[in-house]
Structure 1
Amino acid sequence: MNPRDDMDDGWARSAAAWLEHVGRDGDFSRAQVLDAPMLERVGGARRALDVGCGEGRFCRMMAAQVPEVTGLDPTPALLDTARERGGAVFVEGRAEDMPFGDGAFDLVVSYLTLIDIADARAGLSEMARVLAPGGRLLIANLQGWLTASQTKADGWARDEDVAARMVVDRYFEHHAFRAEWKGMSILNWHRPLAWYMQTLLGLGLELEHFDEPRAVGGAKADRYNRAPYLLMMEWRKPAALAAQTGG
């Protein structure tokens, strides 16, 4: 894959619609699926970085447990809202080239942001670089079969029994697709799960936790649990790796 940095990712034009969509409480994927298990994994951190923090919602949630929280995002309109709402330090920047020193954080979070990063290899490399020895990288991401189902129009649907039917295509091929919903048009990237796993292992990180969290609360949660499309994983940067690389 040759990521194209000149492609308009759509976030600047979609920021207002996004803020209306997630509000202060978050959308279904966050509030009813990921928030609780993600927060369970942040305990013990002293300095946390949320990469692609958007309006800063998860930063504020982490701040109840973590003394120093920083959010990084490339979209000024989202950062303006994050700073208005407070709760953390917010910095403008991109995941592929972070303005932080080596080992600056003992927890780095990527909460549904990897699909937004054109050069995800550079982004993951930077996340590992700014992670302190013994620090943890906490990731929430979409399942690869879901992003591959966006290749064709109407890639998935539910029947009368709410079972999901998917049209999955180009799974092994890294490719961009335009996600359009509720007034937003965002450029996302599909990559197979094996690519993420191999890239993280290649960076010397060690997998400590993997889960496909279940949704809780109501009929929509019951439907989601028929075909869950979110995953989370936690990786640790061993001290030996930092000693070898000098990072």
Structure 2
Amino acid sequence: MVRVPARARAGKLDSASVRPRRDRALLPRIRRRDAPTLRLTPPARAANERGTPDTSNCQNPTVQTAWEAHAHEWLQWARTPGHDVAYEAFIDSFFDAIVPARGRRTLELGCGEGRVARELAARGHAVTGCDLSTTLIRAAHESGNEAYVQCDAGRLPFADESFDIAVAYNSLMDVDDLPGTINEVGRVLLPQSPLCICVTHPVADAGTFTEHSARAAFVITGAYLGRRPFELAVERGGLTMTFSGWAHSLENYARALEDAGFLIERVREPAFPDAFVAKDGSAARWQRIPNFLWLRVLKQRSAESIQYP
């Protein structure tokens, strides 16, 4: 039976219905492609000896540092094959629909333990991942050859126009300053470069199904407009994860992108895949309400340079 609550990461599907993840032991070890030297300004801060997050580079340490508190839970959740069914169901189609072919250098925002960065590297991207969590950055370093930097997403330690692609996969819900973070991403992107976004769909974040049947009513249980904090503890298959973050309206995301000088190039609202519905009929209700919102937006030279009809 499928449950995909606000974070759209808590689907209840039997592990047999999940497309198996590729066994990394069977893959050739990934080496970073040659790329121009990345300039850090100021230098990225290292993890401290106790393994707690270094928040001196964080302007607003609230939701972002909550992920450090639950980092070990997330490592088990994300790395247990067949467990994070929403990720495994959608990641390939997200890349196919939203992420362009490799460029010179790709930034992954909120990389966590590195699974999306590893996917990017496997597809030929020269990727740098960043995250505030000391524990998750350390785990990412131990799992691959990609470059990782511990920092606050709203205060990126990279020079202007350092990247030509940026990816934010389920991370913009976890930043405390959404407009500031998107402005920072715009600063480090070259003009006309894409920012590729996946977030929990604002509609899915605002409501819930009344039952598990395919035609169950979907009800908005609180406010939809504006920004709302959430904290959700999920237990499944013997594992527990506490998700903390911000639910935003569609306008909140659009305004932050508009104010930072981005133009929307592509929008997708993916439904739950047919293959999952065929094996678990309770997933059919998620073919009526989108789990995620996918966006590809292009950085303009400045917000003032955008020409409207």
Relative to the length of structure 1, the TM-score reads 0.85
Q: 1:233 aligns with which of 265, 277, 295?
A: 295
Report how far residue 36 of structure 1 moved.
Answer: 2.4
Q: Please say which of residues 56-65 and 216-225 is displaced more in the overlay.
A: 216-225
Give the partner amino acid of 2:95.
M
For the 8 Å contact 2:201–2:291, the answer to whether it is kept is yes
User: 1:38 aligned to 2:95?
Assistant: yes
1:18 aligns with 2:74: yes
Alignment match of 1:185 (pick from 204, 225, 242): 242
Correspondence 1:105 to 2:163: yes
Please show how residues 6-155 of structure 1 align to structure 2 within 5 Å: 6-7=61-62, 9-23=65-79, 27-40=84-97, 41-149=99-207, 155=208
Contact map agreement 2:134 2:150 (CA 8 A) in 1: yes
Count of residue correspondences: 235
Residue 81 of structure 1, CA deviation: 1.3
In 2, Cα distance between the equivalents of 1:124 and 1:190?
16
Instruction: Determine what percentage of the aligned residue pairs are the same residue.
Output: 28
Distance 1:84 1:24, change over 3 A: farther
Query: CA 1:126/1:6 → structure 2, altered by over 3 Å: closer, same or farther?
Result: closer
Q: Distance in 2 between matches of 1:196 and 1:11?
A: 22
The two structures have a TM-score, normalised by structure 2, of 0.69
Q: Distance in 2 between matches of 1:160 and 1:172?
A: 28
How does 1:206-221 map onto structure 2 within 5 Å? 206-216=263-273, 217-219=275-277, 220=280
C-alpha displacement at 1:176, in angstroms?
1.0
Q: Find runs of 4+ consecutive structure 1 residues off by over 3 angstroms.
A: 6-9, 159-162, 220-223, 240-244
Residues 66, 241 of structure 1: alpha-carbon distance in 2 compared, 3 angstrom cutoff: farther
What is the root-mean-square deviation of aligned Cα atoms in Å?
Answer: 2.4
Of 205, 215, 233, which aligns to 2:262?
Answer: 205
| Cα distance in 2 for residues equivalent to 1:129 and 1:83 | 26
Q: Contact 1:178 / 1:185 at 8 angstroms: preserved in 2?
A: yes
Give the corresponding residue for 1:5.
60
With over 3 angstroms needed to count, the CA separation of the structure-2 counterparts of 1:12 and 1:44, relative to structure 1, is closer
Unaligned runs of 5+ in 2: 1-58
Structure 1 residues 43-64: Cα deviation after superposition (integer angstroms, max 9, x where no partner): 1422001000001111111112
Equivalent residues of 1:48, 1:107 under 8 A apart: yes
Question: What is the CA–CA distance in structure 2 between the aligned matches of 1:198 and 1:66, rounded to whole Å?
Answer: 32
Contact kept, 8 Å, 1:50 with 1:70, in 2: the verdict is yes
- Rounded to whole Å, the distance in 1 between the matches of 2:113 and 2:255 is 31
Deviations 1:10-42 (A, max 9, x none): 212211111111216572222112332225523
Q: Which amino acid aligns with 1:178?
A: E
Q: Distance in 1 between matches of 2:199 and 2:134?
A: 23
Structure 1 residue 223, shift from structure 2 partner = 4.3
**Residues 67-92 of structure 1 deviation map (CA, whole Å, 9 limit, x = unaligned):** 41000001111111111111410110
1:161 deviation in Å? 3.6
Counterpart in the other structure of 2:253: 196
Kindly provide the CA deviation profile for residues 170-229 of structure 1, in whole angstroms up to 9, marking residues without a partner as x.
211322121211322232102210111122112211111110123332235544323222
User: Closer, same or farther in 2 for the Cα pair 1:177/1:129, shift >3 Å?
Assistant: same
Contact 1:42 1:65 in 2 (8 A): no
